[in-house]
């Protein structure tokens, strides 16, 4: 089956008219634009058999012409979508399942239930303005601007995007074109396909938060390939949680987005012997700035839900506690407003597009020495044990008796534990089995206890920001006592988890 490779980008509505006059169109278009009104109907069974099978069946109408198509779900990373696709002209607006099954080999299309119950599910209706481009390096691509809607019954979502589809050449050119356009048009990477947005309307639920996914590493990967694959997955987790933050479970969305950035930075650090950190120093600084905004919102979420929430029925002075909760919720709302403002900002859009291009086009190569390039070509099978052993050693350097550690040392222990856990999860794909599972499980328990302690320490600082009544000093005493008890409980859990982890054999030896 032919493979379709395209980069999807969101565009701010007021900037869309500038596409036609952009430097990219003026310099590289091979002819005038084409304008088409496209109505595409997507089909599935009531049980959504096709979605579960990972394929999309659609019929697109352009005037009197019908195009029947089947696509695999393929891969979508940082806006770059690669899918197997079969498309042909046929009569009528109902898909020719027999011909689609023969051409694609997808057995699900031959199932009796699919043939008997296939029905219209949702549609897209948009105007496409497209140009053919011949790029500087000889690559050929289509630049298209789509404006319209995705509709399922009465539910709809606006459709406004730019697509860059590769016709000939390397996919790296798609990011070059996107960055050139992004300099003036405020483009942002779009991770969701039109079909995914349609199915979201069908399910009728806000976009759920997304946790990290397996990267799919194998021993044959080079260090550089593993580095790029891990960073791509982390960036995809950031993208996938944008919709949850803006339209769904903002609390968990912010948390998972923050986790994604931490995983990203852990990878940058872990591979520093193969891909030196100096090549990513500017990007790390920019990530640190955006993560600070997410971190402030996360701190207030934890304080309100896991701090003040459980205090009801325990604290003296219920009226004061109610006022404290009201003040904390106000601070929390302000912090989440800052997050939404960040996600709508030009700086955010540029950062994500820059990172996607940096990863896909491997731009670190231009700043590396020949010796460093040789190191980056080492096999993952060779370097994975060294990477894991180094992170393990950094954690094990802390003493067996944690009560000897000062607060700052515990904080560093927590950070080292997270870094090791992320690398164990990434590289653990190479070592499936109970030994790896036991190691990661015990590391998570240690991280959980350290996280509980850290949340209590942060809460002590945060509660000072919500105001105090001079005549209610007992409330301050209650807060201090409550979190002191939390710290003691966390330390007991920490002690037990640390002892078990120290007795766990590394899984990579």
* Mean pLDDT of all residues in 286-303: 94
CA nearest 442: which of 384, 499, 394, 395? 499
DSSP per-residue codes, 18-36: GGTTSHHHHHHBSS--EEE
* Mean pLDDT of all residues in 86-102: 93
Instruction: Band the pLDDT of 206: cuts 50, 70, 90.
Output: confident
Examine the pLDDT at 474 and tell me if it is beyond 90: no
Contacts of 478 (CB under 8 A, 6+ apart): 315, 316, 317
Examine the pLDDT at 43 and tell me if it is beyond 90: yes
The predicted-structure confidence for 307-345, as pLDDT tens digits, reads as follows: 777 776 555 556 667 777 888 899 999 999 999 999 999
Instruction: Band the pLDDT of 75: cuts 50, 70, 90.
Output: low
State how far Cα 326 lies from the chain centre: 32
Q: For the domain bounded by 3-205, which CATH number is listed?
A: 2.40.320.10
Examine the pLDDT at 79 and tell me if it is beyond 80: no
Beta strand pairing call for 155-168 and 140-152? antiparallel
| Number of Cα atoms under 13 Å in the Cβ half of residue 372 | 15
Its pTM stands at: 0.89
Instruction: Band the pLDDT of 368: cuts 50, 70, 90.
Output: very high
The predicted-structure confidence for 180-196, as pLDDT tens digits, reads as follows: 998 888 888 888 889 99
* Mean pLDDT of all residues in 162-170: 93
Beta strand pairing call for 119-134 and 34-44? antiparallel
* Mean pLDDT of all residues in 426-440: 95
* Buried b or exposed e, range 468-504, using 16+ CB within 10 angstroms: eeeeeeebeebbeebbeebbeebbebbeebbeebeeb
* Mean pLDDT of all residues in 418-422: 96
For the chain, which residues make up each domain, given as ranges?
A: 3-205, 243-502
Examine the pLDDT at 165 and tell me if it is beyond 70: yes
Nearest-angstrom CA–CA distance, 245 and 236 = 15
Examine the pLDDT at 76 and tell me if it is beyond 70: no
pLDDT in the model for residue 3: 82
pLDDT in the model for residue 312: 62
Nearest-angstrom CA–CA distance, 307 and 328 = 11
Mean pLDDT rounded to a whole number for the chain: 90
* Mean pLDDT of all residues in 90-107: 93
In what helix (H) or strand (E) does residue 359 lie, and over which residues does it extend?
A: helix 346-360
pLDDT in the model for residue 77: 64
Please state which of the four CATH numbers 1.10.1060.10, 1.40.20.10, 3.40.50.10240, 3.40.50.920 is assigned to the domain occupying 243-502: 1.40.20.10
Enter the DSSP assignment of 210: -
* Buried b or exposed e, range 29-52, using 16+ CB within 10 angstroms: beeebeeeebebbbbbbeeebbbe
pLDDT in the model for residue 254: 96
Strand, helix or coil for residue 194: helix
Higher-scoring residue by pLDDT: 232, 480: 232
Mapped to the 3 state alphabet, what secondary structure does 249-307 carry?
Answer: CHHHHHHHHHHHHHHHHHHHHHCCCCCCHHHHHHHHHHHHHHHHHHHHHHHHHHHHHHH
* Mean pLDDT of all residues in 399-413: 87
């Amino acid at each position: 089956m032919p493979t379709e490779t395209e980069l999807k980008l969101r565009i701010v509505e007021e900037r869309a008219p500038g596409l036609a006059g952009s430097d990219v169109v003026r310099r590289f278009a091979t002819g005038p634009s084409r304008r088409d009104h496209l109505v595409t109907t997507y089909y599935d069974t009531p049980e959504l058999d096709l979605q579960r099978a990972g394929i999309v069946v659609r019929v697109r109408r352009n005037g009197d012409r019908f195009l029947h198509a089947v696509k695999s779900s393929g891969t979508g990373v940082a806006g770059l979508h690669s899918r197997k696709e079969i498309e042909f002209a046929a009569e009528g607006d109902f898909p020719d399942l027999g011909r689609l099954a023969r051409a694609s080999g997808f057995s699900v299309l031959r199932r009796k239930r699919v043939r008997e119950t296939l029905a219209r599910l949702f549609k897209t209706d948009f105007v496409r303005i497209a140009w053919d481009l011949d790029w500087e390096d000889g690559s050929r691509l289509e630049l298209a601007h789509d404006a319209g809607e995705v509709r399922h019954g009465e539910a709809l979502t606006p459709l406004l995007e730019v697509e860059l589809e590769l016709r000939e050449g390397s996919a790296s050119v798609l990011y070059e074109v996107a960055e050139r356009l992004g300099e003036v048009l405020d483009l942002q990477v779009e991770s969701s396909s039109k079909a995914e947005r349609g199915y979201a309307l069908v399910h009728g639920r806000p976009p759920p938060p997304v946790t990290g996914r397996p990267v799919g590493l194998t021993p044959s990967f080079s260090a550089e390939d593993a580095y790029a694959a891990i960073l791509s997955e982390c960036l995809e987790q950031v993208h996938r949680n944008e919709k949850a933050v803006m339209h769904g479970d903002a609390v968990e969305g912010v948390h998972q987005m923050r986790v994604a950035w931490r995983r990203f930075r852990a990878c940058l650090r872990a591979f520093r012997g193969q891909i030196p950190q100096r090549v990513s120093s500017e990007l790390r600084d920019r990530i640190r700035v955006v993560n600070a905004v997410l971190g402030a919102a996360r701190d207030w979420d934890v304080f309100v839900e896991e701090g003040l929430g459980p205090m009801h029925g325990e604290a003296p002075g219920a009226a004061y506690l109610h006022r404290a909760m009201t003040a904390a919720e106000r601070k929390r709302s302000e912090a989440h407003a800052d997050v939404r403002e960040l996600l709508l900002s030009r700086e955010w859009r540029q950062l994500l597009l820059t990172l996607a291009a940096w990863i896909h086009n491997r731009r670190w190569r231009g700043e590396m020495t020949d010796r460093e390039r040789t190191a980056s070509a080492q096999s993952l099978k060779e370097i994975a044990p060294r990477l894991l052993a180094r992170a393990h050693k950094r954690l094990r350097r802390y003493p067996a008796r944690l009560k000897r550690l000062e607060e700052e040392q515990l904080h560093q222990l927590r950070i080292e534990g997270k870094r090791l856990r992320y690398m164990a999860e990434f590289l653990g794909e190479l070592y499936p089995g109970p030994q790896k599972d036991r190691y990661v499980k015990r590391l998570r328990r240690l991280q959980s206890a350290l996280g509980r302690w850290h949340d209590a320490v942060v809460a002590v600082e945060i509660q000072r920001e919500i105001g105090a009544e001079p005549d209610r000093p007992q409330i301050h005493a209650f807060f201090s006592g409550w979190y002191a008890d939390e710290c003691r409980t966390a330390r007991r859990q920490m002690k037990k988890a640390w002892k078990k982890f120290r007795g766990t054999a590394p899984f990579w030896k």
